[in-house]
Amino acid sequence: MADLIKVAVDAMGGDNAPAEIVKGVVEAINEDSNVKVFLVGQEDKIKAELSKYNGYDTERLEIVNATQIIEMAEAPVMAIRQKPDSSIVKAMQMVKHGEADAYVSAGSTGANLVGGQTIVGRIKGVKRAPLAPLIPTEKGVSLLIDCGANVDARPDQLLQFAIMGSIYAENILGKRNPTVALLSIGAEEDKGNALVKETFPLLKNCPDINFIGNIEARDIPAGPADVIVTEAFAGNIALKMYEGVAKTMGRVIKNTFLTNLRTKIAYLLLKKEFTVNLKAFDAKQYGGAPMLGLNGLVVKTHGSAKAVEVKNSILQCVTFKTHNVDDKIKETLNNKD
């Protein structure tokens, strides 16, 4: 039992909590015998959901009671401070105290970001802990680092994002010598704002990453860069624009299919291929966004996460721990000082 990888899961966070969270946890335990999950939240509700399942290894699933819930709309800093018995705070404290290796939540992004920084805490030497969602591309998936709440970053912080993102892409996404690009408004070295121009030489001269230069947002969906480095404001806009366009186009396409009998028949003929191909553009299937540079992995999944996303987020934690990503980040960043 000593070698089990322990994941604390916020059972109360997200639109589909606790039902889909509990379901995802049971699936993760059934799929990987190396994982133990702490389901943190209101015990009675968790038990009610768990009663739907049997045959899973009860030794590797433990309920940790937490009476409070942090709602999506709450001001993050206040919520973390004023709800010590919330599922987010209690689960994060388990990581802080070494009782869990990693943490998964579908709850408030703001509260998770604040909790990550203030409860789990940053690795020594890490200046900021970025949130790095995976975005789907024609070649698979890319890491967009940072899309968190730490806007107005400095060049030396972006350099750390690049290094951490590269280690993550190599170890968790299985990319060999992952390509790293800097988000800008032109491919040339002299294009961009002041921050990008100052960051470019730092990335270019960094021996720890495979820097391929600037990337324009238009080229992201084709997938030339495994890791896209950006300050969080621009990163958030790129991410949200991606989601917005994909969603709106998806809706327009759906409406097209529903126009008349002829288009409905066409849809039946296309359905199989269409579903497979368009699914690649649904960012949600890739599970959670890691928050890197903390003393333990924090994974934020979508608020609308279903069981499969929760399961994948938990398995992502296992890979993170198995590959010692934390240690690799510590080692590489400390070598820089």
Task: Provide the binding-site residues for a second copy, judged by CB under 8 A.
Answer: 138, 149, 151-152, 183, 185, 192-194, 196, 216-222, 232-234, 236-249, 252-253, 255-257, 259-260, 262-263, 265-267, 269-270, 273-274, 277-278, 280-281
CA distances from 73 to 77, 128, 195, 236, 246 (A): 12, 24, 32, 19, 25
As measured in angstroms, the least distance from the Cβ of 54 to a second copy is: 40
As measured in angstroms, the least distance from the Cβ of 270 to a second copy is: 4
Nearer to a second copy, 19 or 266 (CB): 266
Nearer to a second copy, 18 or 110 (CB): 110
> What single DSSP character describes residue 220?
G
Nearer to a second copy, 131 or 173 (CB): 131
Nearer to a second copy, 193 or 322 (CB): 193
Q: Which residues have C-beta within 8 Å of that of residue 124, sequence separation ≥ 6?
A: 330, 334
β-strand 140-145 against 210-216: which pairing, if any? unpaired
Nearer to a second copy, 21 or 135 (CB): 135
As measured in angstroms, the least distance from the Cβ of 144 to a second copy is: 11
By the 10 Å C-beta count (0-12 exposed, 13-18 middle, 19+ buried), 219 is classed as middle
Nearer to a second copy, 48 or 270 (CB): 270
CA distance 28 to 50: 14
As measured in angstroms, the least distance from the Cβ of 191 to a second copy is: 9
As measured in angstroms, the least distance from the Cβ of 225 to a second copy is: 12
As measured in angstroms, the least distance from the Cβ of 66 to a second copy is: 27
CA distances from 260 to 132, 255, 270, 271 (A): 42, 10, 15, 16
Any idea which residue has 């951490």 for tokens?
A: 164
CA distances from 167 to 171, 199, 247, 294, 321 (A): 6, 19, 31, 14, 13
